Structure formats: structure tokens, C-alpha cells
Chain A
Amino acid sequence: MTRIKLTVDGMAVSDDVEPRTLLVHYLREQLGKTGTVVGCDTSNCGACTVHLDGQSVKSCNVLAVQADGGEITTIEGLADTVPDRADGQLHPVQEAFRECHGLQCGYCTPGMIMASVDLLNRNPHPTEQEIREGLEGNLCRCTGYHNIVRAVQYAAEGEQP
């Protein structure tokens, strides 16, 4: 067992973990943050995407011990990162996915949203091509991506001055 200390969705946590524990399993099974899901066994699908120190990562491909000392945001804490947030208010990208119906079964959605937030952080006004390429690490088996791309465009427009 190795002791790790990190911040997850704004909360300081400290736990003993087996070194082989994947970050996604630590989040889901030890912290109960089941909003982050596992969609594949090959690190291809992106469903498990969270932010580690402000960058999108596939949490199925990071050991919990590698995240020691880090700061993690999952889909469950994303809305809390909005400054002066009203009770029940969603993050603008969550709101955009709802508004544009950027999902069908919803399985890819937590990862899609976390990857989209990272994309917009780096490039606040992406072209359609940049959105499609920026989300290349996230697979959706339902939507054909069309409404997902629209949702990211919608969120980007909303953030324009």
C-alpha cells in the first residue's frame, strides 16, 4: 500500500492504495465518484477522461499513485468550477450538451464534456475541424458526433464577449 494525498473536485483526500490501482478505479470505487465511467480496455474511448492538474487525461491509463499531490476535476465537480455559481447551475459545456442534445445513451458524455472543456480552455473559439480533431480521443457509438460538435460550438459562442 502507498499513501496518496490529492484534491478531488475541491476536496482534500488521503488514502492508502495498492500501487496498481488505476486512477479511474480509485475515483469510482474508493471515492464513490461513479460519474466517471470505463468504456474500453485499451485507452481508446476517452469515456474515463478527467482533468489532472488542469489537463485532460484518460484516468484508466494513469495510476492513482502517479496522481499523488495532484488536483483532479471529474464530471461531478465540474459545475463547481464555475465562479459564483447559483445552486443547481450547470457548467456552460454541460448546459450546451443539454441544449444541443449532444448525447443519446449518454455513456460517452462525461468524458466528452471533460475533453470539450479542455479543448475550449486551450482554444476558446475553435473551428468545426478543430473541434472534430480536438475530440479525436473520445469515441461515441450513438450520435455520429454531429450534435456533440454543435454543443461545443454552442458553448464557445456563449463564451464570446
Chain B
Amino acid sequence: MIPAAFDYVAPTTLEEALAALGEHGDDAKLLAGGQSLLPVMRMRLNAPEWVIDLGRIESLRGIREEGDELVIGAMTPHAVVGEDPLVAQHARLLTDAEAEVADAQIRHRGTIGGALVHADPAGDLGAPARALDARFVIAGAGGTRTVAADEFFLDLFETAVGEDEILTEIRVPKRTGWRTHYEKFVRVKHQWSIVAVAVAVRLEGDTVAEARVGLTNMGNTPLRARGVEEALTGRPATEESVAAAAARASEGTAPPSDLNGDAAYRSHLAQVLTRRALMTAISGGTA
């Protein structure tokens, strides 16, 4: 299937892109890697009159350190984030999750920013972004603003990025030396998560000093499993305390029911996957 006809612009600077967005407003769609937008346009579920391609704006790509943060350009492809040594060192949970996004071909084209703005509840990057307390830099006609992960995801396919705005950077606080794991449950390897769990823990000796847990596809947005975090913090890093904490994984969630499983099944799955993810992370993580 072929998309409906549209006019195409490929600006080379952020300012030009914002100007084009301002001019064409409601009739325009931003194109990042196209790995979610093009399928939607081919199905004619969306038929923008203008497509503004961000692919030629070099400043939106790349990964750098800035003080206590890693700064990831929104247009950095999944494959680049997944293989980046700085990310592996300071935000290993993102490395783990990127390896589970789609397949090699899609990871070459699709971008971290596109996936986060697309905000599919089954997408694999939202839960790690929340677990790591990432911050989102959003540019608009009036300048830029920064939004915390807890305020970024608003609803199904809806984020804090307005129609006339562009996500430019994802800023991730460094968590060097944390142990991490992304546990994804699917039936077909390259498909979207039925449920997935993102964990990062900091150990002090045999004790869990800090724990962060994100949930994929357990509600309309990626979630934090605060009950699990609370139950595990300060506890010994043993199978027993992990099991007790993981039992709280579905607290406060509202998982969907669909052909892959009903809500009760997903609630059970979240607990099992949380236990597995925490045990894998504690015993050394994915590395």
C-alpha cells in the first residue's frame, strides 16, 4: 500500500523545521525514521498534507556527556544508541532495551525520539526512560522547555510534545555501575511487548541500596512500579526479598486485554517478569 499524496520538505536546521511546522500546522506531520509513521500512512490511517523530514538535521543526532547527564539527540537511530559505549557505561538499561526493539532493519532507521514521541504503550523505550528519570527537551516557536519523564507520557500515543513542537534531546542522568535488565515477553521475536519490565538496581554489598522499575504495556502509558521499588530498597539482594517485592508489580496498573492476553494474565506476567528481571540484574545483569 502507498501513502496518500503529500508535499515534502527536508529542512537542514531545527529553526527551518520549526518554521515549516508553524506554517503548515495541523496539516503537517514530522517524519523521523518513519518506522511507525510510514506504516500508518500506508494504511491511510493518517494522511498529512505535508511531511517535514527531520532526517537531514545533523544537530538532532548523536550522543554526548554533559556533567551528570548523557544527552541523546532525538534523531539518533536505535542501532546507534544500542551500540554506544557511553550509553552502555552510564545508562545500561537503555542498551538492554534497544536490543529488544523490533529487528535489525527497523533499528537502523527508527530513532529513539520517534519511538518515545510515538508513545505506543507496547513500545520498549518508555519504561526505561521512566525508570531512569530521563528528561525531555522540547523545542517550539517560543524556545525550549524540559519535561520530566513522569510528566512526558500523557495517554495512549500522546506525550507532552505539542503539535507545533519538536523533541530535540533525551537527557539521561548517569547511573554508572548500576545493574540492569530489560525482560520482554513476546510470542514472535521481533514483535511488540505483551508485557516487559525494565529494572536498574544499585547494590551496596549484599543490600539493594536503590531500585528503579518500569513497566511496558501495563497501562495506557509506561509506568513506574513504585510498590516494588519501595519493597526492595534497603532489603538484602536475595531471591526471597525479590520475590516479595515483585509480588507488588501490578499494583496501580491498568493493563489492556487483547488477543495476546487479558488484564489478569498481564498482571500475573508483570510479577513473574519483574522477579526474573530483578534476579538477572542482581546476578550481574545483561552484560
Contacts and interface: CB of A to CB of B under 8 A. Distances in A.
- Whether A and B are associated in the same complex: the answer reads yes
Interface stretch (B33-41, B131-139, B166-174, B247-255): B33-41
Nearest to A61: B38
A: interface residue count bin: 20 to 34
Nearest to B3: A20
Interface stretch (A39-47, A72-80, A98-106): A39-47
A20 B4 contact: yes
- Residue with the highest number of chain B CB atoms closer than 10 Å, among A41, A42, A49, A137: A137
Interface string B180-217: 00000000011000000000000000000000000000
A56 B106 CA distance: 9
Contacts of B41: 20
B8 interface: yes
Interface string B126-144: 0000000000000000000
Interface residues of B, number: 30
A65 interface: yes
Given A41-B42, A49-B105, A63 B5 contact: no
B95 to A, nearest CB: 16
A89 interface: no
Contacts of B189: 133, 136
B34 A61 contact: yes
A2 interface: yes
A46 to B, nearest CB: 6
Contacts of B2: 20-22, 25
A62 interface: yes
B258 interface: no
Nearest to B10: A65
A46 B104 CA distance: 10
B109 interface: yes
Contacts, number: 80
Given A58-B106, A137-B106, A19 B34 contact: no
Contacts of B1: 41
A66 B55 contact: yes
Interface in B133-158: none
A56 B108 CA distance: 7
A119 interface: yes
A21 B31 CA distance: 15
Nearest to B107: A137
B69 interface: no
Nearest to B77: A55
A48 to B, nearest CB: 9
B265 interface: no
B43 to A, nearest CB: 8
Contacts of B55: 66
B51 interface: yes
A66 to B, nearest CB: 6
B103 interface: yes
Given A20-B3, A20-B4, A43 B104 contact: no
Contacts of A136: 103-104, 189-190
A132 to B, nearest CB: 8
A68 B189 CA distance: 32
Contact of A137 (B4, B38, B104): B104
A9 interface: no
Contacts of A62: 34, 38, 109
A156 interface: no
A8 interface: no
Interface of A: 2, 18-22, 25, 41-44, 46, 49, 52, 55-58, 61-63, 65-66, 68, 115, 118-119, 133-134, 136-138
24 contacts: A19-B8, A20-B3, A20-B4, A21-B2, A42-B39, A43-B39, A44-B190, A49-B105, A55-B79, A56-B104, A57-B105, A57-B108, A58-B105, A58-B106, A61-B35, A61-B38, A63-B31, A63-B34, A63-B38, A66-B31, A118-B104, A136-B103, A137-B102, A137-B104
